Structures are given as C-alpha cells and as structure tokens.
Structure 1
Amino acid sequence: MSTVLFASFLFTLVIGVPVAVTLGLSTLIAVLIDGRFPAMVVPQRLFAGLDSFPLLAIPFFLLAAEMMSGGRLTEVLLRFASACVGHVRGGLGHANILTMTFFSGISGSALADAAGPGALITRMMRDTGYSPGYAAAMTASAAIVGPIIPPSIIMVIYALTDNSVSVAGLFLAGIVPGLMIAGALLLTNHWISVRRNYRSLELRPTLREFVVIAWRAVPALMLPLIILGGIHTGAFTPTEASAVAVFYAWFAGRFVYRTLTIEKIPGILVRTAIMTASVMLMISTSDVFSWALTVLQVPQAISEFIVSLDLGPFGFLLAVNIFLLLFGIFMEPLPGVMILVPILAPVADAVGIDSLQFAMIVILNLTLGMITPPVGGLLFVTSVVTKVPMNALVRELWPLLGAEIVVLALLTLVPGFSTWLPNLFGYLR
C-alpha cells in the first residue's frame, strides 16, 4: 500500500494535479488497490478532518481580512508606512515592507498580502523608478511575513496537528521572528537602494501631518492587539477571537473609516467563501493522507530512523532546515504542516528541542518555499498580479531571499528569538 500511495502521489503531482486533489486521490487509489479497508473510509476521513471547532477560526479570520480590505485599509496603512519611512533613501521599498508587515497582522496569509496591497505598492514603486523585477521581488519577499505575524492560519493548523503547542503560544512566538524578517528586508532594501541610487520622491511630513496620519491608522493597527490581548486575558478563546475580529473589522470599516458600504458585503462574502473552501479542501485531503501514513506507520519508521542517526539537536535542525526548504518548493505550507509535523515534531521533542522554536522553524521553512525558485507558488501569484515576468522577478529575488534565510539561521541557533515572548506570558511548558 505504501508503494502505491507514494507512487500515485508523485505521479499526480508531477502531471500538474492540484495539491489538494493529489492528496485525496492518491489515498483513494492506495485504499482501492490494497483492499484491506473499505473505500468509504476516504469520505469518512474527509469529513472527520473538518470536524473540529478550532477550524472555525479560519473562515472568520479570512472574513475579517476581507472586511478590512473592503474598508480601504490598504490605503490607510500605506499612507502611514510612507509617512514613517517614505522620505528616506529607498523609501517606497521600505514602505512596501512596513505595509505588508502591518497588513500581516490582519490577513494571516502570504498570498492575500501579495495579491492585495502588494500589487498596489509594486505599481507605485515601478512608477517612481524602481526596477519592475525588484519591486515585484520585494512584494513577494515581504508577503512572507503574513503567516509569521499573528493572526496566522498556518499556526491554527499547526496547533491542531501538534498538541504540545497552543494557538496563543504560536501567535506570540511569531511576533519576534516576523519583525526580524521585516528588519532584514529593510536593511537589504537600504543596501540595494544606495547601490542603485533609488531616491525617494516623498517629502518628510510635518509633525502635525504625521500625527493625523498615525491617528487614522490606529483603528487598523489595533486589531492584532485586540486578538492577542483578548486571548491572553482569557476574555475569549482563539476561535472566539476570530469572530471578534470580524465584528471589529466591520465596525471599523463601517463607522470609523466609513468606506465599508452595504453594497460591498456580498462580494466580500463570496471571496471569503471561495478562499475558505480552498483551505478546507486542503485540510480535509491532508487529513486523509495523514491517516494513510499513520496506518502504514510511516511516521514511526521515519522517527526511529532519525533518532538512530544520533544527530543531536543542532544536527537534527540543520537536516530539517535543508529538507523543509526543498520540500516547501513543491508543497504548499498547509498540507506540508499536516503531513510533516506528526512525523518530525515527536523527534524534535525527543532530542530536546523546544516545541515553539521547532514550530517557528517549520512554519518559516515551508513559507520560504513559496518564494524559492523554480516552483514557489507565491512567485507565480506575484508575477500575475504585478504583471512582471517571472524571470525578471527571480533575478532580483536572491539577496532578499538570502536575508530571510539568515533570519532562519538565527532562529535555529538562538531559541530565545522564538521562545522569549511566549515565556514572558507563561506559554512555555
């Protein structure tokens, strides 16, 4: 059965079948050919994979992000980012990074960040003299912060897959690494802007102008603070926090910014439904595939093999980093988490690696795979929405990707970057 499972999985993936369909179809083929289990087990596992109360957080967080976008949040955050750094050398590049960082505290999705505010900022960068390839590469690289800074859909799925971590702990663990990535990109953009003489056309705002712009951005920036504060104080659970986020997004767009009109609501609901359906399909088929791996005792076999190598904590993390960077090129982060975490997390625990540090390493690795050539899915999305050829984007990507890999190395070497904030709030074991 294992041979059929992996052979059908690789074949369907190579011929271009969507990943979600590949996971479910390969499991169904293996079950039918093996004959030990009734075919009905596949649809049963499909529904079982979605029968989880915490999964309700996903559609609500997606809906909150759509409502904030419908309320012209992108323009508000972009104006605030430009007021902060738009007047310095490479100012629009810095504004791109800051805007994506701010927006990541609302969307939780790299693809949503790239397709939404990313497309707008890339066009502005091109119009002010930045290389089109560099502008698109900066957008794709900055979008990586989306799944790292809370709220994060990937973190919700990770917490459901690994019982040793909580959603609140993961949310806190992602703040410092997310800011480190943004800082690394800011330094890289400054270095490139000095070399290429990318000068800013923005004027430094007066103190009065800056205060007005910052005050207008406060309601948008408050959303992640409300989510984290409410979860930490026990006012609501992470799942309930997603519903609170929807109400807050509606209130801010309708009554604070006054741009979320009734006419926009149907379109927002349709887009949210489509995104939710795609995510849920991925989760359900990943659960079927994980069930097949468990039945075949693949996680146990791999765990025993890795432990027998006696690599030690650092050697294990080095091997995991290399493997996940390569794996992430061909596999989306969500199914990657659901398939690999049950295999690798117990081994990490056995060799003494903190569960939150390991979680951040896995999430960042799989997310970086989205911008790693030649297959990275985020590269294709960015290329389409920015209308920049893929070869031009990839040519400008390498220093930005290198800066993010340096952050990954720091997270691997220094556990405190991932664990300090959760430890401060009492979320470590």
Structure 2
Amino acid sequence: MDALILLGSFLLLILIGMPVAYALGAAALIGAWWIDIPFQAMMIQVAGGVNKFSLLAIPFFVLAGAIMAEGGMSRRLVAFASVLVGFVRGGLSLVNLVASSFFGAISGSSVADTASVGSVLIPEMTRRGYPRDYATAVTVSGSVQALLTPPSHNAVLYSLAAGGTVSIGSLFMAGIVPGIMMNLCLMALCLVFAKKRNYPKGEVIPLKQALKICREAMWGMMTLFIILGGILSGVFTATESAAIAVVWAFFVTMCIYRDYKWSELPKLMHRTVRTISIVMILIGFAASFGYIMTLMEIPAKITTAFLTLSDNRYVILMCINVMLLLLGTVMDMAPLILILTPILMPVIVGIGVDPVQFGMIMLVNLGIGLITPPVGAVLFVGSAIGKVSIESTVKALLPFYAMLFFVLLLVTYIPAISLWLPNLVL
C-alpha cells in the first residue's frame, strides 16, 4: 500500500500536467504524510540533496558547453569533420556524425548537439540533395553519443543517484568505447544508404585550407583533452575539471575565435542559470523522493521481485532494458536516472553486474528514449530545426533505431566494452 500511495500519487500528478520536478516533491510530501514522517525531515533531504561538491560539475559543464556552442565551435567542428570524412560518397552524413561526436565531447548534451550541429548541417545536406527527413534522422541519432562521451552531465547525475559509490571519472572513461562504437555503427549504416541511394560525393579540401581548419578546431578540441587529461593524471577532480573547462571555453571563444559579442554574455549566463535551476530543483526533490522510497523499502521489494522472476542475469538485464526503453519514451532522462538508479542498483549488484557498466546501459537506453515519441525531447528539437514532421523523422529513423538497439545489446551483454578502458587507465 505504501508503494501505491507514493508512486500512484507521482503518476497522477504527472498525468494532470504537473512538471516532473514538482511532482516528485509533492509525491514525497504525500508519502511522508502517509507514513507519518515530519515535513521538516523532507526539507532537510531536499537541502542535503543539492548540498554536494560533486554537483558543481553540472553547472560548469553546462556553461562550458553553452559558451562553445554559441561561440562558433560547431561551425569549426563541422569543417574539421569535412576534412576527415567529407570526401567519400555520402560524406556529408558522415561529417554530421563525426561533428556530433566531437561536439558531444565538448557539450555533453544531446539537445545542444542536435541544435548546434543540426542548424549547420541539415540545411547543407538538404541543399546537396539529401532528403530532409534523412538529414534530420542522421543528426538526431548521432546526438545520442553525447550522453556517453565525457563530459556527460547525465553520467554525473548517475554517479549522484548511485550515492557517490560510482566515480565520475570511471563513468567518463567507460563511455568512450561505447560512444565510438555507436558512431562507427551509424556511419556504416550511412555508407550503405549512400551507395544504395547514390548520395553525392564531397569535395577534397586543399591541404593548405585543411591545415587551417584543423588548427582552428584544435583550440576547441583541447577542452576534452584538458578534462580527461586532468582527471586521469590526478591534477584535478572531475568537478574541478569542469570549472577549468569553463575558463578555457571562455578564453577560446572570446580571445581566439572572437565570434561572440561581449554584450551577449549576460543573456547566455541567464539561459544557463535557468537551465541549472531546473536541474537543481529536480535533484533536491528527487533526494526527498528517494528518502521516502527507502523508508518504505520499495527498492528492496523491487529487488526481490526481479530475483523471483528469474535467477538468470541475462534475462533480468533484458527485462530491465525493456522497462527502461518504455519509460524513456514517456519521461525525460534526468528524472528517470534520479528515480530509477536507487531502485535498480540493488538488483544489478545482486546479479553481479558492475555499476559502471550499468551506468552505460542506462544511458544508452534512456538516450534512445530521447529520440523516440511521444516525449522525445531531442526528436522534437531535431524535427523543429529540420522543419519536418515528427512522423517523417520517425519513419526515417527506423533503421537507425535498429543500429542503436544493436549497440545496446553489445553494451548490455559484453561488459568489457564499458569496463576495459576504466580498468586499464584507472
């Protein structure tokens, strides 16, 4: 009955249109009232949920990504990707995916990736003869990489939701191989379409111009090397690397590229603060919601239910994947990570799955949800930028979904894909 009151009230509030963050807080208060917990205890949990040093990484990474996104970085990364792969048949679709990979490694956000790369490449692909829905599908599917490769904001959220038992550095390293694998699989699919549909070849960029493009792009790419290099060398923590990334992004944008006006910085800061305030409210209320779930012993009951269902880890992982895929289509990624991680962590530990690997499984699952209707935020952004209907984009995405599901299965059932690099360097 306790679980029905807590989870039922949360779902009811969502259905009547209340924002997820406030629905979490209100449901937690209803749950506290039901089991006779003082409301003051809930406020302490909310304050404690956001009063963590590691959380500073999120606003800093968001700000660094915003500065680089609006400061001309996306245009330079597209040009750099064109140097690398733009000369083959269907090369512009490969440029799209490679640029998404590079930009995702700077922004850590699928929405920012789609908005920045898509605004440059979808019109250009359409002009070169690619169908508009196909160009949008390539952009949208490629942006899922940003959730895996460092500095992924959602990896930081997963570390927080796991109670700090999973290091952010390990999650950053774990996402590199799956991210590269996803990119290569999508590129292979695009090459097949290019040959089958006779998409145009790109032009070979002259050496002198190519060197200039590479030199300009390297300033922005240094952000990733600063983040990973600092963490792996032990010079600074993941949180400190985020602050340094902001300083470097600001320096490159305002002093080297100089495409951004100083007068526009206050507006950028205002947009970033609005985004971060929403995330922090969500984290605080999720902490109180998780506290009530623990008192009601909901995670333990769900663990028992899964272990009763089967004693085979592969069957349990498949059931968890199906659940995450379905939930990811109807709820946003951040609240699902904060709600489900404390529930599922005892289950995956009980069947012998490494929490770092499970972090990658969760990110891939929920990343697919972001590009799937009815509540796919990245899908909506891509369709708006591409000026195509949701239905047309989803139809064009069908083969890309199949490739993403293939990557999900590999990440789920081959632990070394996620764990090899963290074990090697950490």
CA distance in 1, matches of 2:254, 2:51: 33
What is the correspondence of 1:136-155 to structure 2 with a 5 Å cutoff? 136-155=136-155
Amino acid at match of 1:94: L
Counterpart of 1:395? 395
Q: Which residue does 2:410 correspond to in 1?
A: 410
Point out the more displaced range, 227-236 or 132-141: 132-141
Aligned to 1:185: 186
In 1, distance between residues paired with 2:42 and 2:326?
Answer: 29
The alignment status of 1:131 with 2:131, answered yes or no, reads yes
Separation in 2, partners of 1:55, 1:346: 23
* Cα displacement string for residues 25-66 of structure 1 (whole angstroms, at most 9, x for unaligned residues): 22223334x261233344333222111111011111111111
Matched, 1:30 2:35: no
Please say if residues 94 and 189 of structure 1, whose CA atoms lie closer than 8 Å, have aligned partners that are also in contact. yes
Q: Secondary structure at the match of 1:372?
A: coil
- 1:225 partnered with 2:225: yes
Q: Mapping of 1:68-79 within 5 angstroms?
A: 68-79=68-79
Q: 96-105 vs 251-260, which deviates more?
A: 251-260
Shift in Å, 1:403:
0.6
Using the size of structure 2 for normalisation, the TM-score is 0.95
Paired residue type of 1:198: Y
CA distance in 1, matches of 2:387, 2:21: 27
User: Which AA in structure 2 matches 1:342?
Assistant: P
Report if the CA contact (8 A) 1:70-1:264 is conserved.
Answer: no
The answer (yes or no) to whether the contact 1:114–1:143 under 8 Å persists in 2 is: yes
Cα distance, 1:235 vs structure 2: 0.7
Of stretches 371-380 and 94-103 in structure 1, the one that deviates more from structure 2 is 371-380
Distance 1:257 1:369 in 2: 35
Within 1, Cα distance between the matches of 2:183 and 2:248? 26
Kept in 1, the 8 Å contact 2:332–2:375? The answer is: no
Shift of 1:412: 1.6
Q: Tell me, yes or no, if structure 1 residue 205 matches structure 2 residue 205.
A: yes
CA distance in 1, matches of 2:3, 2:415: 36
Does 2:391 match 1:354?
Answer: no
Structure 2 residue aligned with 1:373: 373
The match for 1:328 is: 328
CA–CA separation in structure 2 for the residues paired with 1:183 and 1:117: 18
Mapped partners of 1:36, 1:385: distance in 2: 49
Structure 2 match to 1:173: 174
Q: CA RMSD in A?
A: 1.6
Whether the 8 Å contact between 2:50 and 2:284 is mirrored in structure 1 is yes
TM-superposed CA distance for 1:4, in Å, is 2.3
Structure 1 residues 201-224: Cα deviation after superposition (integer angstroms, max 9, x where no partner) = x31112332222112211111111
Which of structure 1's runs of 4+ aligned residues deviate more than 6 A?
none
Correspondence for 1:316:
316
Q: Is the 8 A contact 1:329 1:372 kept in 2?
A: yes
Give the whole-Å Cα distance in 1 for the aligned partners of 2:377 and 2:38.
Answer: 35
The more displaced of 18-27 and 135-144 is 18-27
Between the aligned partners of 1:44 and 1:59, the Cα distance in structure 2 is 22
Could you tell me how far apart the structure 1 residues matched to 2:105 and 2:227 are? 10
Deviations 1:155-174 (A, max 9, x none): 11111222432000000000
Residue 17 of structure 1: CA displacement? Answer: 2.6
The match for 2:59 is: 59
Distance 1:387 1:24 in 2: 37
Separation in 1 of the partners of 2:220 and 2:343?
39
Equivalent residue of 2:267, what SS?
helix
AA partner of residue 233 (structure 1): S
3-state SS, counterpart of residue 184 of structure 1: helix
Unpaired runs of at least 5, structure 2: none
Q: Measure how far apart 1:241 and its partner are.
A: 0.5
Corresponding position of 2:13? 12
TM superposition shift of 1:141: 0.7
Q: How does 1:198-277 map to 2 (within 5 A)?
A: 198-200=199-201, 202-277=202-277
Measure the CA separation in 2 of the matches of 1:302 and 1:35.
19
Counterpart AA for 1:139: T
Number of equivalenced pairs: 424
Alignment partners' CA distance in 2, 1:335 and 1:121: 31
> Which range is displaced more, 177-186 or 208-217?
208-217
The answer for the alignment partner of 1:339 in structure 2 is 339
Q: CA deviation at 1:82?
A: 1.4
Shift of residue 136, structure 1, vs aligned partner: 1.4
Aligned AA (2:207):
L
Matching residue's letter, 1:253: T
SS at match of 2:39: coil
- Cα distance in 1 between the residues matched to 2:261 and 2:372: 39
Q: Which amino acid aligns with 1:53?
A: F
Question: Whole-Å Cα distance in 1 between the matches of residues 268 and 292 of structure 2?
Answer: 37
Letter of the 2:365 partner, please give it: N
Q: Structure 1 residue 258: deviation in Å?
A: 2.5
Q: C-alpha separation between the residues in 2 aligned to 1:63 and 1:392?
A: 33
Would the alpha carbon gap of residues 19 and 256 (structure 1) be closer, same or farther in structure 2, given more than 3 Å must change?
same
Q: Is the CA contact (8 Å cut-off) linking 1:250 and 1:260 kept in structure 2? A: no
Distance 1:39 1:399 in 2: 50
Opposite residue 132 of structure 1, the aligned amino acid is R
Q: SS at the partner of 1:330?
A: coil
TM-score by length of 1: 0.94
For structure 1, list consecutive stretches of 5 or more residues without a partner in the other structure.
Answer: none
SS in 1 for 2:147: coil
Does the CA-based 8 Å contact 1:77-1:217 persist in structure 2? yes
Q: Which amino acid aligns with 1:116?
A: S
- Between the aligned partners of 2:13 and 2:101, the Cα distance in structure 1 is 36
Task: Measure the CA separation in 1 of the matches of 2:199 and 2:147.
Answer: 29
How far apart are 1:196 and its partner, in Å? 2.1
Q: Sequence identity of aligned pairs in percent? A: 38
